Amino acid sequence: MYQINENYLKLQGSYLFSTIAKKINDYKSKNPNANVIRLGIGDVTQPIVPAIIDALHKAVDEMGTMEGFRGYGPEQGYEFLREVIAKEDYQNRGCDISADEIFVSDGAKCDVGNIQEIFGQDNIVAVCDPVYPVYVDTNVMAGRAGSYNEKIGGFDNLVYMPCSEKNGFAPEIPNKTPDIIYLCFPNNPTGMAITKPALQEWVDYANKNSSIIIYDAAYEAYITEEGIPHSIYECQGARTCAIEMHSFSKNAGFTGLRLGYTVIPKELVCNGVSLHSMWNRRHGTKYNGAPYIIQRAGEAVYSKEGKEQLQMQISYYMENARIIREGLAAEGFTVYGGVNAPYIWLKVPEKMTSWDFFDKLLNEVQIVGTPGSGFGASGEGFFRLTAFGTKENTLEALERIVRAKW
């Protein structure tokens, strides 16, 4: 008789967004005419910019010609894309990363989820708390997280690094030394960035302890402040201790098109085995690359027109972030994030849980956000609002939140 992977039974995750969906459906069935504004799910809303649409059309037409047809692509991704990534995202920022260290993929979620496959079973994994659920869930599926423990609101074998008001939402070195450390900055859900000296401390720590950092840079394009690192490779020594993932989802609207990449420097060697060659092997076997057409669209992200058009789109979202952040602060709310990331991390009023706050916003003023406790125990007391709505919706949402009785 076949057996299932019982680790899947330990998963807690999907409860967050399914509970939210259920609450919205219940509300709507009782109030069919209600105009519910959603600032909850982290998906973009603005259409793909013209420079990228042009590149897509061109690549589609090429595929219908004898000379332009492409079959299976190179496993690491097309050189035209890897070259422009290496130049624009790294070398122009003073980071020593070359095109052959880049692996083009169908998204960062896939890569951050899959990368754990090349690591052994007994690694101790550390995550921030609150956290993007993919890091935890994929390690649970792999059997590396242990069992869910109601008392701590987390998994027994994971090392949780609380990110709270006290530490400015930046993780501190944990008591137990982890082997694999997941970091994501600017952060989802807190919307907070990390300073370069603070990130450098993590790099030094990882090198000293022979740990590896898996760095998720999905929101790098939203950084507006000087001196905030766009890549972990801006830190000295990161080539020997860090893997980095990027996504085209949040900076260029590819949540539906699917494109991302992972950087594995050649120096990453564990007991004589190169991680670069392991990941290469994985790409060769379980291909999770992106179609030629989408890689051409990715190339257009770095064109002059593409950059200009995308900067306008990012500014549009960040203006939404500013509206929510400043509007709520002016009303006496405590708000974090929204300066270097498209998320606002709102402190819920005292004596309320983040789910109480969710229910109140939905029932009184028809606004949907995400309760912080859904991202981990330390997220309790906070509430995530996204800047990915339209400007009209964002202004309306602010007005309604302020109008609710506090």
Mask 55-84, x = binds ligand PLP (CB under 6 A)? ------------------------------
Structure tokens at 349: 């009023």
Structure tokens at 337: 């994030």
- Within 323-366, strands assigned E span 335-337, 343-347
- How far apart CA 85 and CA 83 sit, in angstroms, is 5
- How far apart CA 295 and CA 194 sit, in angstroms, is 30
- Note whether 35 and 392 are within 8 A (CB): no
218 touching ligand PLP, by CB under 6 A:
yes
213 touching ligand PLP, by CB under 6 A:
no
Q: CB neighbours of 400 closer than 8 A, spacing ≥ 6?
A: 37, 365, 366, 367
- Note whether 306 and 296 are within 8 A (CB): no
Q: Of 249-257, 322-330, 363-371, 381-389, which segment contacts ligand PLP by CB under 6 A?
A: 249-257
Chain centroid to Cα 355, Å, comes to: 23
Among 107, 178, 338, 389, binds ligand PLP (CB under 6 A): 107
221 touching ligand PLP, by CB under 6 A:
no
Q: Which is nearer to ligand PLP, 119 or 219 (CB)?
A: 219
Q: Which is nearer to ligand PLP, 188 or 207 (CB)?
A: 188
- Note whether 36 and 28 are within 8 A (CB): yes
Angstrom CA distances, 90 to 98, 223, 276, 302, 311, stand at 8, 15, 18, 13, 18
Contacts to ligand PLP from residues 285-324, by CB under 6 A: none
The residue type at 39 = L
The residue type at 231 = S
- How far apart CA 378 and CA 400 sit, in angstroms, is 27
Among 139, 190, 200, 247, binds ligand PLP (CB under 6 A): 247
At its nearest, how many Å lie between ligand PLP and the CB of residue 42?
5
Q: Which residue has the tokens 């270097």?
A: 340
Would you tell me how many other CB atoms lie within 10 Å of the CB of residue 176?
Answer: 7
249 touching ligand PLP, by CB under 6 A:
yes
At its nearest, how many Å lie between ligand PLP and the CB of residue 28?
26
At its nearest, how many Å lie between ligand PLP and the CB of residue 219?
7
Mask 22-61, x = binds ligand PLP (CB under 6 A)? --------------------x-------------------
Helix or strand run (H / E) with residue 326? helix 304-330
| CB-nearest residue to ligand PLP | 107
Structure tokens at 235: 């830190």
137 touching ligand PLP, by CB under 6 A:
no
At its nearest, how many Å lie between ligand PLP and the CB of residue 384?
11
Chain centroid to Cα 310, Å, comes to: 18
Give 225: exposed, middle or buried? Use CB within 10 Å, 0-12, 13-18, 19+.
exposed
Strands 102-105 and 260-263: antiparallel
Q: Which is nearer to ligand PLP, 107 or 327 (CB)?
A: 107
Mask 187-206, x = binds ligand PLP (CB under 6 A)? -x------------------
Q: Which is nearer to ligand PLP, 184 or 221 (CB)?
A: 184
Among 109, 325, 360, 384, binds ligand PLP (CB under 6 A): 109
Among 216, 220, 244, 299, binds ligand PLP (CB under 6 A): 216
Among 132, 233, 333, 336, binds ligand PLP (CB under 6 A): 132
Q: Which is nearer to ligand PLP, 113 or 327 (CB)?
A: 113
At its nearest, how many Å lie between ligand PLP and the CB of residue 339?
17
Give 405: exposed, middle or buried? Use CB within 10 Å, 0-12, 13-18, 19+.
exposed
Among 239, 250, 283, 325, binds ligand PLP (CB under 6 A): 250
Structure tokens at 18: 């399914």
End-to-end CA distance of the chain: 58
Among 154, 191, 229, 260, binds ligand PLP (CB under 6 A): 260
Mask 168-187, x = binds ligand PLP (CB under 6 A)? ----------------x---
Task: Give the binding site for ligand PLP (CB under 6 A).
Answer: 42, 107-110, 132, 184, 188, 216, 218, 247, 249-250, 255, 260
